[in-house]
Structure 1
Amino acid sequence: MINLDVCSCLLAISVLLIVTDAHADTCPQSSDEIATDRPDVTNSSIVVPLGSLQNENGVNVSARDGRQSVDGTNSRWRLGIAPCLEVLVDLPTYFANVHGAGVSGFTDVSPAIKWQISPVPGKIDLSIVTGVASPTGSVAIAGRGAQPYLQLPWSYELHDGWGISGMLTEFFRPDDFATRSLSEATFVLEKKLAERFSLFTEYVGDYPQGSISSQLWNSGGVFHLTRTQQIDFHFAVGLNHSSPSYIVGLGYSFRVDGLFRQ
């Protein structure tokens, strides 16, 4: 007897692939410039092209309550598996406490799938991401148990190189009895100053269930070395006592195209 849940999943995937194939011409192409999920907290609403593998990396220095830490490499691998559809995985990042009383350790491995719902030029680009942080890292750093999440990044291009974007995320923590969920909201204002260089400023608010919110103001820039390579930087400051005092980061990302025969 065939499991009905399996059949439902296969049907949903089939419908999804049919829908994405219907507007494949408007989905991201390998001729497009690299679009990354960094250095702002807000992820790109644009998926990687079909047959492209993208590697995003970075390192941060941060301070909180008199403690200082370094974390890296903040690596995210993204693979386009169908038009407007990608799979991604966040590899373990190591947090090293370098000053003050603190802990060191790895974060979880976090696989996810991302679907760009509205790849229509001139309209709001919207994607939906669903993933889970698997319990592979240090409990003191990553928390206990599997932690699913649901994410909605969006973006809209204005005039004269200006753009706005944002993201809503809901993190679920079934094994954390104190904070079962955490909601995150972000908003970004971006300006393209030159063909390859742009700056952004961003608000990030984390709202854990039953606890005090954490709020950041994050700003930085992106420079495209080539169509498929990017370097970036950012600097964030905390807006309340439950936030990090500051975060400074640098990053490098690249994309390899044409992995699948089309």
Structure 2
Amino acid sequence: MNSLKELYNYREMLFSLVRKDLRTRYKGSVLGFLWTFLNPLLQLCVYTIVFSVILRSDVPKYYIHLFVALVPWLFFATSIQGSSASIIGSKDLIKKIYFPRIIIPISVVNAAFMNMLFTMIVVFFALIFSGIGFSWYILLLPIIMILEYLLALGLSFIFSALDVYFRDLEHILGIVIMVWMYLTPVLYGIDMIPDNFKPIFKINPMTPIVVAFRDILYYKQMPDFSNMWIILAWSIALIVIGYVVFEKLQKKFAEEL
């Protein structure tokens, strides 16, 4: 409770770090913040051309099938990779003033989450123009997004703290994230996985998240509630473990930096 109270007291600093991240991401570019919408829109155009003309898939409107799963994955990957180097990147700030160090990885995840929210605007327009549309199950989407946020936050606590002591972790994570993506049904549907391998894929906490996004936005059906419990269990476990690891390792951040 004391930690939560301290975070609340430093909420303005947290908001400031998030704003700084969002503003400096496209600083100096002509279009500036508009790239937040243009990037996913251009990606969608590329997927539409490639998978409608060149690499045709049996999945109807495969570009939407891919896009709705890629959005949560990009948030997850950006949060993990961005937070892993966040403490080292903020070493000058850490050495100068006191503040709860855990604010740094939180700000990275929050900025990535805000970017995902902006990208969802493009997703919604894509669903309308593709003719897929919406169903009332879309009301469940914020629950999935919050659970994924907690999952990413817990892992960000762990990797941001470990990277201070093990600097190669940032580079190793790049490879791990790439492999992790192929082990998550982003580029393919869950139904394409052989039955004997499905238990392995279900261990992956990102599998039920991606499947839930696709169920709600592409198939317009109720996501599997048993998967929701899996996501919740992973999220709570990693938040607790991540917080404990971060609090233990942060005591010697100044010495290591």
Could you say which TM-score interval applies, normalised by the shorter chain? under 0.3
If each structure's strand is expressed as a fraction of its own residues, which one has the higher value? 1
Q: Normalized against structure 1, the TM-score is what?
A: 0.24
If each structure's helix is expressed as a fraction of its own residues, which one has the higher value? 2
Q: Normalized against structure 2, the TM-score is what?
A: 0.24
More relative contact order, 1 or 2 (CA 8 Å, 6+ apart): 2
